[in-house]
Amino acid sequence: MSKLEKFLRGRFAAALVAVLVGFVVAAVVLAAAGYNPIGSFAALFQGALGKPKYIANVIIKATPILLTGVGVAFAFQTGLFNIGAEGQYIFATILSTIVGVKLNLPAVIQVPLVVCSGVLGGAALGAFIGFLKARFGIHEVITSIMTNWIMLYLNNFVVSTDTFHKANSTAALPINPSSYTMILPNWKKSEAGKAFLSNIPWLREVLLKTDANFGFIIAIAVAVFAGYLLSRTKLGYELRAVGYNRDAARFSGINVDRSIVLCMLISGSFCGLAGALNITGISPHTITTLAAQEGYGFNGLSVAFIAGCSTVGCIPASLLFAGLIYGGMTVQQVMGAPSDIINIMIGTIVFFIALPGVTPLLADMVAKRRKSAEEVRVNKDGTPLPEKEV
């Protein structure tokens, strides 16, 4: 097998081909609509990578998508489909907001309490879905879709209550500043901070013009930890064994029901962390009335599929996804092209990722051509042809 064949049969090749096809489809749609594809893609990359603050905003936007993607990928590797990442994310934002508004302790205590409340909320909701699956056999897709909508309306209820509603707005009260996880929020606005940052233009732009926070660093650590947990620990082995064959896992002594609940609990905690870090790290640091799902959980689902459900692979996939979304706004501003073109591109990428036979088919074509070329170099009796005849 040649190196090209090995590459085409790998997971990375499938993602790369899907991304390339996504750009080709987007180019065709743009051209058909009368827009310049090259100029549109140039605006896309400029909007995502053109300035330090653009790059920072892409990273900020990638954080919740990465964490929900890790949650979905973790569950998928254990045989479960956590399509309820959106609801777990929303529930986490609700609890983090409630705790962040009601408590105003020193930051060293306040931040862990606010973040942990969100993580526990996502974990509890995930465990509940897992319990319904383990105890009553109710498919997790059904229950998680229902909880997505329940959490949306719970969010709107909390926002509308007298206790949490912010006057003359459609939002709840913001959490107390002691809950913030932004990078040096007070120092960067002080005279000393501004004086220091004036000597480093790119850092000044990142810190003062964006909500730069510690979220993405935490998200990377979580993605690596999740991969290690699945592949290097006894617990991970048991969870994957249940996903591969529940009957065989039960026969070998693994508690299948406990594993299902535990898997959804861990998956939900990752999604809950995404919600908590968004509340503590990004303005307006509160929840608002929702007319529809925010999309962080569903975007995480796409990221997980682009990454081949590898938790570590979700890191570059989330950056790609966030770059397309954030840079897509520039395409609309500069070229006048509708931002829906980015959704078409993302949908195409996910569509081709979902077709696992595409790149193996290309690998088979390469192998067939290689064999044909080798057959030309030998006689019918199998002896090599002279060099000149070849």
The answer as to whether 254 is a domain residue is yes
The answer as to whether 364 is a domain residue is no
- Classify residue 173 by its DSSP letter: P
pLDDT reported for residue 357: 55
d(CA 242, CA 226): 17
The answer as to whether 8 is a domain residue is no
Please give the tally of structural domains in the chain.
Answer: 1
Distances (CA, A) of 216 to 200, 248, 281: 22, 38, 10
pLDDT reported for residue 381: 57
pLDDT, tens digit, 9 for 90 and up, residues 245-267: 888 999 989 999 999 999 999 99
The answer as to whether 156 is a domain residue is yes
Kindly give, in sequence order, each residue whose CB lies less than 8 Å from that of residue 316, ignoring residues fewer than 6 positions away. Answer: 307
pLDDT reported for residue 390: 45
d(CA 265, CA 287): 23
The answer as to whether 265 is a domain residue is yes
Its pTM stands at: 0.89
Query: Do 135 and 257 contact (CB within 8 A), yes or no?
Result: yes
- Residues of the chain where predicted confidence (pLDDT) is lower than 70: 1-11, 354-367, 370-371, 373-390
The answer as to whether 314 is a domain residue is yes
Which has the closest alpha carbon to 145: 87, 219, 77? 87
Which has the closest alpha carbon to 127: 296, 260, 273, 256? 260
**Residue 227 structural domain:** 51-186+213-319
The answer as to whether 313 is a domain residue is yes
- The enclosing domain of 173 has a CATH number of 1.10.3470
pLDDT reported for residue 383: 60
Q: H or E stretch including 356?
A: none
pLDDT, tens digit, 9 for 90 and up, residues 68-107: 999 999 999 999 999 999 999 999 999 999 999 999 999 9
The answer as to whether 38 is a domain residue is no
